[in-house]
Amino acid sequence: MGQITKRSHKLSDGRDIIYFDDADTVLPPHRGEDLRAPAVRPPTATMRQDVLTGEWISIAAARQNRVVLPPSHLDPLAPASPENPSEIPSLYDVAVFENKSPSFGPDLAGAAAPEGLDDLARVGLGRSRQSVGRCEVVCFSPEHTGSLAGLPLSRMRTVVEAWADRTAALSALPGVEQVFPFENRGEAIGVTLHHPHGQIYAYPYITPRTAQLVRTIESYGGSLFEDILSFEQKSERVLIQGEHWTAFVPFAARWPLEVHILPHRHVPDLAATTDEERDEFSLLYRQLLRGVDALYDSPTPYISAWHQAPVHAHRDDIRLMLQLTSPRREEDKLKYLAGSEAAMGAFIADIPPETAAARLRDAMEAASRPPRTAGLEPFRTELPATEQEAAQP
């Protein structure tokens, strides 16, 4: 099999679009031009500081004009056609492009840009800064419907490669302090496009969740992630354990469905992972997602979030981690963030984490059994070497 290939192009308004071709692609190397008339991009949004918390809120009014759940023939993430001049000019395997109406960017500097983390850490009334940075869309497939769980293994590996490549590229941009790849899946989460896709945000600050993690590490010590991994690997909450990664339901899960995946060695972000680690993750993650979808008779809504170390700080302490959460607590019931969670940030869990782990292990095993899902790798607590080799691109 060949290698995953990256091809960089420009859209008609100057935005970047990057094609990632599968290692076993059948696509030709040529990519068509964006034939749309150039359009003026909206101005970079403004951040305002919440003086009660010190957090920064991006006011991105252009997002109000986003397309919401369009019919398939007007899908903006499908390959362009005469009837549908979409965001992506050519047929593709995986495509990444700059968001047309971003929450951060397109400017990376300016008179009102943040003057570093010390500037953003100061708290005062009426403080505002430009929302410099970048937002990108990651399209997992040219098909209008589908999911990561349904991708062939080669395509899943291409998606992982795109995440790693873009993490490195965005981390190198001036003014970017943290890079966040994520996927919102399902209308219950609030998605506005059915097309299987995710996003990447490049923030001009260290996010509140990561800032809290830094405070925890300062209190606990630098071995936090190593100790978490050792603690969870000994528990009944482990879902899959391979040579390079372990997936588990965390001891203090907030959500009805919550899974964390940690690498076995310290790496600060996806760009620092090896080919072997990306290979195994592609296989492990696809098995996990198929189990998630086997829990019920309809696809499970979720948020899948890559927590990465900041670009310029705490890289020796914060370990790369994927966190997948879903508000779905039963076939027809969702957990809503009501008074205690939304107002106070004090979560009350409805399902014991050990119970959630047992349900998910059963679902993963069921998803691996033919004929319902013929062709899937059988579920195992550990991934043997033969399956790791099968994941090679």
What pTM was computed for the model? 0.92
Predicted confidence band of residue 63 (pLDDT cuts 50, 70, 90):
confident
Q: Does residue 239 carry a pLDDT above 90?
A: yes
Domain co-membership, 168 together with 212? no
- State whether 188 and 256 are in the same domain: no
- Residue 126 shares a structural domain with residue 195: yes
Q: Among residues 176, 202, 228, which one ends one of the domains?
A: 202
Tell me, what's the pLDDT at 382?
Answer: 42
Residues 197 and 214 in one domain: no
For the stretch 149-200, pLDDT in tens is: 999 999 999 999 999 999 999 999 999 999 999 999 999 998 989 999 999 9
Q: What is the CATH number of the domain that holds 172?
A: 3.30.428.10
Domain, as residue range, for 106: 1-202
Q: Mind listing the pLDDT tens digit for each residue in 240-286?
A: 999 999 999 999 999 999 999 999 999 999 999 999 999 999 999 99
Tens of pLDDT along 289-324?
999 999 999 999 999 999 999 999 999 999 999 999
Task: Tell me: do 251 and 343 sit in the same domain.
Answer: yes
pLDDT tens digits, residue range 247-260?
999 999 999 999 99
Model pLDDT, residue 119: 96
Active site residues per annotation:
197
Tally of domains within the chain: 2
Q: Which of 184, 202, 220 is the last residue of a domain?
A: 202
Asked if pLDDT for residue 393 goes beyond 60, the answer is: no
- In percent, the amount of the chain with pLDDT more than 90 equals 89
> Given 202, 223, 239, which residue is the final one in a domain?
202
How far apart are the C-alpha atoms of 25 and 90, rounded to whole Å?
Answer: 14
Whether residue 217 is found in the same domain as residue 97: no
Residues 130 and 20 in one domain: yes
